[in-house]
């Protein structure tokens, strides 16, 4: 009696959901944050439902299943849209509202926890403990050997003070909150700092940009629509930064502004810049990158007034002057994005029903189209990370609003694609 | 003898209680954590090395300095008792002790030990 009452009480709570998405599902994942009845959590350990927001690239399925397994039982899996890593569980059409389905699924899960979704991975450790050696670790001395099939970390030179201790390699992503979709980081930690970083983007068939930016390259588009889409993208990227840093309320406020930037107007967006800057002061001085290698708002946040719109005749008599920030750190990029969103809304209000003709280069929300972070961003990031703590790297990555490597990528996702599924089993062979 | 029995009874009760609880949870509890649920959350990645690694404790010099200078305060409590009896002589001795310690602080300061990282 009491237990069933408690279950009913729990079922009335918001549904803790961990979203799994690629570039194509990014906007719907953001919309989910504003939806009542659903709590988008930052870790699968806090979730009850793994929600695949499709279409998801097939290469990401094994990673999505690993994350699904890490949700503690009772867990449920759901797919919102086509091409999910699982064919069973709740299915919601791509254009449908997922909330009623998710709530019903969560209630059912709490009513009958035995119906928890089974794991994809192994139930037992595929490699047994082999206790050999003086410490039972399976090798000679303190090092070597492979207890439970995973080798012990080996020593390496320390990037900051030269004390040679263990280097711990970790592959993080692609479903790590804060990382752009389809990005995976291979990091080697030396204590609390990063000793080496390899960025492994996964090419994707889809994109997270508004289609109007691609359309503008080949056909005339209304200038106001282009600028509103820009403002929306910039505000959403800023909200990602704030939500990643735990400022959920502020992030959601920006997401609400992003739903209708024109209705909000430039003044309300500029007001948002003031309170956001005040709160996000912790990002000051973090992630200072060379403006030369960056594009779009990132390079303008490092003091370079480079903007394709200055050469565009459609903007000629609107009095557009690119704004810049001198600092070039994460806080400057945050302020720059909000300022540019306000600018874009002001331009949209001025433009009326003017059309923009194709021909001159299109300035997208990440720089000149076709969208690309530029060839220098990944090497710059990899060089930046060395000797820095993990939080500084993540703040930098989130503040850059990196493109989810749609067509600009050179390298494949990861050389470890095969053994990432069951590292233990692979290492033993 | 009574104290010994008291301790024995408390110890025995603790052991029996722990054994009972352990047996109960082992017998009736369900193991709901398959191996793949217990792996560390890396956003889809899985660890390739064992968790047994030597971590660089960067705060170590700072912690050592803190303990060294905190211990000097420990010496001051018994000294305060002696000071009441001995007067000026005890004050001079503690003054010498603190002077030597402050030379140590000055040295650590010059070496940059108080700077983080």
pLDDT in tens, A204-223: 777 888 889 888 988 999 99
The runs of H, that is alpha helices, within A323-422 are 330-351, 377-385, 390-400
What gap in Å lies between CA A199 and CA A413, rounded to an integer? 9
Specify which of A24-28, A75-79, A175-179 reaches the highest per-range mean pLDDT.
A75-79
B57 touches chain A (CB under 8 A): yes
pLDDT, mean of residues A423-427: 34
Torsion of CA B5, B11, B12, B16, to 10 degrees: 160
Question: Between A91 and B73, where is the model more confident?
Answer: A91
pLDDT at A134: 55
What gap in Å lies between CA A61 and CA A50, rounded to an integer? 13
Q: Are B44 and A176 an interchain contact pair (Cβ–Cβ within 8 Å)?
A: yes
A38 and A32 Cβ atoms separated by less than 8 Å: yes
Structure tokens at A320: 């557009």
B53 touches chain A (CB under 8 A): yes
> What is the interface size between A and B, counted as CB pairs within 8 Å?
132
User: pLDDT at residue B40 above 60?
Assistant: yes
A273 and A250 Cβ atoms separated by less than 8 Å: no
pLDDT at B53: 76
Cα distance from A419 to chain B (closest Cα, Å)? 9
Quote the percentage of chain A above a pLDDT of 70.
87
Cα–Cα nearest to A286, from A404, A388, A379: A388
Across B70-97, b (16+ Cβ under 10 Å) vs e yields eeeeeeeeeeeeebeeeeeebeeebeee
By C-alpha distance, the chain B residue nearest A170 is B47
Pick B54's closest partner by Cβ from A121, A166, A423: A166
Q: Are A67 and B43 an interchain contact pair (Cβ–Cβ within 8 Å)?
A: yes
Structure tokens at A394: 């993540």
Q: Are A171 and B46 an interchain contact pair (Cβ–Cβ within 8 Å)?
A: yes
End-to-end CA separation in angstroms for chain B? 56
What gap in Å lies between CA A70 and CA A77, rounded to an integer? 12
What gap in Å lies between CA A75 and CA A225, rounded to an integer? 42
Q: Are A427 and B54 an interchain contact pair (Cβ–Cβ within 8 Å)?
A: no
| Measured CA angle at A387 (ends A383, A391), to 5 deg | 95
User: pLDDT at residue A339 above 80?
Assistant: yes
Give the pLDDT confidence of A89-103 residue by residue, as tens digits.
899 988 889 999 999
Q: Are B46 and A64 an interchain contact pair (Cβ–Cβ within 8 Å)?
A: no
Q: Residue A142: helix, strand or coil by DSSP?
A: coil
Residue A80's pLDDT band (boundaries 50, 70, 90)? Answer: very high
| Residues with Cβ within 8 Å of residue A244, at least 6 apart in sequence | A177, A178, A394, A398
| Residues with Cβ within 8 Å of residue B11, at least 6 apart in sequence | none
Task: Report the predicted TM-score, pTM, of the whole model to 2 decimal places.
Answer: 0.81
Cα distance from B59 to chain A (closest Cα, Å)? 11
Q: Residue A165: helix, strand or coil by DSSP?
A: strand
Specify which of A118-127, A323-332, B69-78 reaches the highest per-range mean pLDDT.
A323-332
Structure tokens at A149: 């099939």
Cα distance from A168 to chain B (closest Cα, Å)? 7
Cα–Cα nearest to A334, from A325, A343, A322: A325
How high is the mean pLDDT of chain B?
A: 85
Pick B43's closest partner by Cβ from A71, A179, A421: A179
Q: Are B34 and A122 an interchain contact pair (Cβ–Cβ within 8 Å)?
A: yes
By C-alpha distance, the chain B residue nearest A162 is B56
pLDDT at B63: 83
């Amino acid at each position: 009696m009491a237990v069933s009452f408690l279950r009913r009480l729990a079922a009335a709570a918001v549904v803790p959901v961990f979203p799994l998405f690629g570039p194509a599902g990014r906007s719907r994942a953001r919309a989910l944050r504003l939806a009542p009845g659903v709590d988008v959590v930052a870790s699968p350990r806090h979730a009850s439902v793994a929600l695949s927001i499709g279409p998801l690239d097939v290469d990401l399925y094994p990673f999505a299943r690993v994350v699904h397994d890490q949700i503690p039982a009772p867990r449920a899996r759901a797919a919102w849209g086509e091409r999910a890593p699982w064919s069973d569980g709740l299915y919601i059409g791509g254009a449908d509202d997922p909330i009623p389905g998710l709530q019903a699924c969560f209630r059912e899960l709490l009513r009958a926890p035995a119906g928890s979704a089974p794991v994809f991975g192994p139930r037992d450790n595929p490699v047994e403990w082999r206790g050999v050696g003086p410490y039972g670790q399976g090798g000679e001395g303190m090092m070597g050997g492979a207890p439970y099939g995973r080798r012990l970390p080996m020593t390496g030179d320390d990037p900051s003070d030269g004390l040679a201790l263990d280097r711990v390699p970790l592959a993080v992503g692609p479903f790590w909150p804060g990382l752009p979709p389809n990005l995976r980081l291979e990091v080697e930690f030396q204590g609390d700092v990063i000793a080496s970083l390899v960025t492994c983007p996964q090419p994707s068939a889809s994109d997270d940009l508004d289609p109007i930016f691609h359309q503008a390259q080949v056909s005339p588009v209304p200038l106001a629509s282009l600028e509103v889409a820009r403002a929306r993208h910039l505000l959403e990227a800023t909200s990602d930064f704030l939500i990643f840093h735990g400022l959920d309320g502020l992030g959601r406020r920006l997401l609400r502004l992003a739903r209708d930037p024109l209705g909000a107007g430039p003044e309300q967006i500029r007001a948002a810049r003031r309170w956001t800057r005040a709160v996000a002061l912790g990002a000051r001085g973090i992630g200072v990158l060379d403006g030369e290698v960056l594009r779009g708002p990132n390079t303008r946040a490092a003091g370079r007034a480079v903007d394709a719109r200055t050469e565009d005749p459609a903007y000629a008599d609107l009095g557009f002057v690119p704004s810049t920030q001198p600092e070039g750190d994460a806080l400057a990029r945050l302020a720059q994005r909000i300022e540019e969103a306000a600018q874009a809304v002001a331009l949209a209000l001025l433009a009326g029903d003017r059309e923009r003709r194709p021909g001159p280069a299109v300035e997208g929300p990440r720089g000149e189209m076709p969208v690309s972070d530029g060839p220098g961003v990944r090497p710059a990031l990899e060089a930046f990370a060395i000797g820095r703590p993990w939080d500084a790297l993540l703040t930098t990555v989130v503040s850059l609003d990196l493109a989810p490597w749609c067509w600009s990528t050179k390298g494949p996702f990861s050389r470890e694609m095969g053994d990432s599924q069951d590292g233990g089993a692979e290492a033993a062979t | 003898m009574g104290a010994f029995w008291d301790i024995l009874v408390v110890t025995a009760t603790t052991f029996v209680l722990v054994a009972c609880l352990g047996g109960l949870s082992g017998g009736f509890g369900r193991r709901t954590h398959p191996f793949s649920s217990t792996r560390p959350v890396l956003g889809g990645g899985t660890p390739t090395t064992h968790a047994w690694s030597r971590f660089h404790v960067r705060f170590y010099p700072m912690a050592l300095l803190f303990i060294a200078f905190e211990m000097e305060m420990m010496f001051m409590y018994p000294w305060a008792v002696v000071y009441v009896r001995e007067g000026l002589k005890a004050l001079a001795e503690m003054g010498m002790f603190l002077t030597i310690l402050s030379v140590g602080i000055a040295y650590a300061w010059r070496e940059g030990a108080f700077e983080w990282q």
